[in-house]
Structure 1
Amino acid sequence: MFRTLINKAIVTIGLSSLLIVSYSHVALADHNRGGQEGLPGSRIGGGTRGECYLRKPLVALVPENNLVLTKSAYPKLFFYLPPTTTPKQIEFVLQDEDNNEIYQTMFTSNGSAGVMNVSLPEKESIPPLAIGKDYRWQLVIICDSEKREHDIGVNGWVKRVKLDFAQTKKLEQAKPREQINIYTASGLWQDALLKLAELRYEQPNDTRLSHDWSELLRSLGLDAIAQEPLVNMERQVTSPLSMK
């Protein structure tokens, strides 16, 4: 049921000028909550469905308007997988505006909780995201493979945007933590999330980075998972099942 796209919506996205700012609630709210029309979707999925009992909801780490802006042709999306009593199959699907499937993959979680990422792999068979186009993503926990109506899922949109010369130059000259600030000030919070996650993987004992991560999630209304562990996908997944 999660593969059926609802009617397309049109959204006008305005990128503000690049300023190096802190992870304040106001800065992120201006770009991700106010002044931008949202697209249909749901970043929270939970409840009890058949074989699934979730004490905490499945969460997509995306803005409240369900639209992810990114400069990446092959982006990574982040999700919080709640603990489950047994390993569960997870399915991720990416479709274009015309309902054509761009990418699909399935894997088995190990049942533990944590924030993990799903990447759109750079392969010849998978086209890069086109600039200015809306793509629909869906991630579901398969509770019963014989009764897919019991799936628990989240879904939303991702759009690739092009940075101008000045923006690109600022990023090239900035230090890693400054790059995160530039991304958030530009509304490219998924890129900010990825850069911060990479730094946390490299420096797991840096308390400043842990604090920045928590503040970034709280600024987007994701307080409930701000303290959840960040895990490598390879550690969260026990085995890939299929890939297109």
Structure 2
Amino acid sequence: MNSILLNPDHTLSAGQYRLTARQQQHISKVIKAEAGAVLRVGLLNGQMGEGIYEPPSEGFDQNKEISDCGYIHSLNLFRSPPAPLPMVLVMALPRPNMLKRTLHNITAMGVKELYLIHSAKVEKSYWQSPVLQPESIEQCLLEGLEQAKDTLMPKLTFVPRFRPFVEDQLPALLNNKMGLLAHPYKAIRCPVDLQQPCVLALGPEGGWNEFEVEKWLEAGMQAVHLGERILKVETVVPALLSRLYPS
């Protein structure tokens, strides 16, 4: 956690924002800040800067189910968040135990528009996972933002049906953007340092099937690869993003 992301929904009074238990634990156990400490903060979907920390009145006990939390006040917000990647990422829904790490990485690297889509090689049970509950998803995204010192919450859309998305929604997304399909076969080497926005489609670990590849290509996507090695989703996501839009 490299910044404390304050939620307007947690406003106590003008200029005062209550901390969450997770944030309070980090401040108490990792930063070990005392009253009056100036901490790096950001306002969700707003500016970034500094704020003054006020600890809990009775101390923080991480073992309690409900514990008192401190707050941040006297904000001085003077900096804009990092520029987002000019990318729309469409990704086949990963395995639940991989989804959290992947969402964290995607958010930290600056993706602001993400579609999680069904694929023939995505098990239907994945869509029933508790990881997909709104609270769990929001937590992953918030942690990614705090890691990267960002404030702009990504827009995430679930797409449980493949064909209607590719045929009906994708053409509009591709308007004035390059379409790239991450696929290791019959593909060109992935470009480096793109100077234009793109739509990137990333398949499941087993890859897109032939029908899906055909539909992507019919829609105007270009298949690209990173070489002969087949990588896991959590590895290939940062590899592709940093290659397409190096900082």
Superposed pair shares fold, TM > 0.5: no
Superposition TM-score, scaled by structure 2 size: 0.26
- Decide which structure has greater helix share: 2
Q: Which has the higher contact order (CA 8 A, sep 6+)?
A: 1
TM-score, L = length of structure 1 = 0.26
